[in-house]
Chain A
Amino acid sequence: MGLVARAIEAAGTSTLSLTAARSITAAANPPRAAFVDMPLGYTAGRPHDPEFQTDLLSQALAAAWTITEPGTIVDLDVGWSDDQAWKDAATSGLDNGIRQADGDSRSPRLAEPQYQFESDRAAAEAATA
């Protein structure tokens, strides 16, 4: 997404990249970024915790207005938990420290659409028929 942010900004629109993967974002070097210390898959907050999510987004958006130097990452005061034990096991993908996976922590890379519900397939096929 860092590369996408750079392209959007180059085309004349300001961006803010939220990130839970600080080193990957630092490498891609988007114009403005806000880091949250969350497991992968939870970038915008804890599930069913609107207060947490609103605080996270408010801090992130406000941070965008503090950045004057292109390529800045602001470290927000937002984290998954005071207990940081999840970081011990977190690698990437499915094995994010909240859930454990053995070996390759990614699902198979399949070339066919992967629907959440089987009924979605029928709906999509009807819409594109």
Chain B
Amino acid sequence: MDLSKPVDYIERTTLQYSALGYEPYQWAHRPDQPPWTPLRKPLSNSTIALVGSGGAYREGQVAFHWKDDTGIRHIPTDQPAGDVRVTHFAYDLEPARSDPNIVFPVDRLNEMVAAGTIGGIAPEAIACMGGIYSARRAEEELAPAIVGAIDAMKAAGEVDLVLLVPV
């Protein structure tokens, strides 16, 4: 491949699954125009809510299981990323366990608030575990749970932009 171009994981995983004799995987395909909510304030005045699908949880919470877990975990953003645990079936956990900021960048966002780059960070981040094989379950179970959590945050304070960090 042309190494200057992004890796096409759809193509590669399709070939890999085929070689392993697995059923082809169907990625979600939504060619229609996406929903749109305009940004209303500059970045420096905007409160960011973090949603990470790297499987973060904190001590005292039940960890994600590795079979289409569509649950969410609320993680206070005034805690350092070093306190966050991560669990996931589909990426190499060792580096993220060494520095959770690479999948759950809460330390960096707090520093950006202190530096005035962003207006604020929502008091809680939402963690989930990606790799839900069923798009239907992602849309009917996971998405409404996250939307509900964002709505609850907006009822209690501000959220101007949700930053989604997949793995």
Bound form: Cα–Cα A6–B133 in Å: 18
Identify which of residues 1-59 in chain B touch chain A, using a CB-to-CB cut-off of 8 Å.
1, 3-4, 6-13, 16, 20, 27-39, 42-43, 48-49, 51, 53-54, 57, 59
Whether A54 contacts B112 by the Cβ 8 Å rule is yes
Whether A99 contacts B51 by the Cβ 8 Å rule is no
Whether A14 contacts B38 by the Cβ 8 Å rule is yes
Identify which of residues 111-166 in chain B touch chain A, using a CB-to-CB cut-off of 8 Å.
111-112, 117-118, 128, 130-131, 135, 138-139, 142-144, 146-147, 150-151, 154, 159-166
Residue numbers in B under 8 Å from A18 (CB-CB):
163-166
Q: Closest chain B residue to A2 by CB distance? A: B28
Question: Is residue A61 within 8 Å, beta carbon to beta carbon, of the partner chain?
Answer: yes
Residue numbers in B under 8 Å from A22 (CB-CB):
6, 8
Contact partner, B92, options A5, A94, A121, Cβ 8 Å: A94
Bound form: Cα–Cα A21–B6 in Å: 8
Complex A-B, nearest 6 residue pairs according to Cβ-Cβ distance, in ascending order: A41-B91, A7-B143, A84-B3, A47-B99, A10-B35, A116-B85
Q: Hey, which bits of chain B sit against chain A, CB under 8 A?
A: 1, 3-4, 6-13, 16, 20, 27-39, 42-43, 48-49, 51, 53-54, 57, 59-68, 85-87, 89-99, 101-105, 107-109, 111-112, 117-118, 128, 130-131, 135, 138-139, 142-144, 146-147, 150-151, 154, 159-167
Q: Hey, which bits of chain A sit against chain B, CB under 8 A?
A: 1-24, 27-31, 35, 37, 40-48, 50, 53-54, 57-58, 60-62, 64-65, 70-71, 84-85, 87-88, 90-94, 96-99, 103-117, 119-121, 123-124, 126-128
